[in-house]
Amino acid sequence: MKQLAVIATLSAAPLAADPLDLIDYEALFAARAADVMDVSETRSLLRIGDVTLIRDETLPRGYTGLDEGGQGAMGCFVSILATIESAMQACEAELPAAQVDMQTAYRAQALTFYANNVVPPVAFEMVEQRYNALVASQIEGARPFCSNLDLVTTLADRIFSSEGAEEVKGMMSTPRLPVANPCL
């Protein structure tokens, strides 16, 4: 559990929203107003497939999303990829060549998934720009954790393994909003 806490700390993106800040939650709630369920004075829910969106003014960004499909939240996966990349840059470290190749492939696949499934859809270049900004924003915050870099490399070992590949393949198999929760 300590490992997950450190990894979450490295991630500067609020996992309460989508990490690339591209989902237009307000537009989704407006476009599907008839499907919105008010569950309290401050909280409303909107279900889109296996994703439940929550609008709540007490949340840091006012909205969050929960991927309840069981494949894994794509926003979380993008955050993890960005965390690994920013930690490697911050600590001037390198993953093994095979993992770098896999990370590069996952990044392209995940960002393409993001571009195709975010609402409204956006160009791949916009997603890539936001991803690069996310990585850059985390580098300074990751530096104090360089002495614990093994936590990140252990995560990379897990994600960039054959078992991880099956998990990632499953995660990308179903089009849906790339929300960040649940994460790990």
pLDDT tens readout for residues 121-179: 999 999 999 999 999 999 999 999 899 899 999 999 999 998 899 999 999 999 999 99
99 shares its domain with 114: yes
> What's the pLDDT score for residue 53?
96
Helices 97-117 and 74-90 meet at what angle, rounded to 10? 140
Q: Based on the domain organization, do 50 and 130 belong to the same domain?
A: no
pLDDT higher than 80, residue 100:
yes
Pairing of strands 63-67, 51-56: antiparallel
**What is the domain range of residue 83?**
2-15+71-171
Is 176 domain-assigned? no
Is the separation of the CB atoms in 103 and 85 below 8 Å?
Answer: yes
pTM for the whole structure:
0.87
Q: Which residue has better confidence, 86 or 6?
A: 86
| Number of separate domains in the chain | 2
Judge contact between 78 and 23, C-beta under 8 A: no
Q: What pLDDT shows up at residue 184?
A: 66
Are 45 and 118 within one domain?
A: no
Q: Would residue 181 count as lying in a domain?
A: no
Q: Please give the pLDDT value at position 60.
A: 81
Does residue 142 share a domain with residue 92?
Answer: yes
Q: Are residues 37 and 87 in the same domain?
A: no
Domain check: are 50 and 85 in the same one?
Answer: no
Q: Report whether pLDDT(11) > 80.
A: no
Whether residue 90 is found in the same domain as residue 148: yes
Co-location of 50 and 112 in the same domain: no
CA 127 to chain centre: 12
User: Is there a single domain that holds both residue 84 and residue 144?
Assistant: yes
pLDDT at 17: 75
Bridge-based pairing of strands 63-67 and 37-38 is unpaired
pLDDT at 30 over 60: yes
Residues 62 and 105 in one domain: no
For residue 141, give both structure tokens: 């915050």
What's the pLDDT band for 109 if we cut at 50, 70, 90?
very high
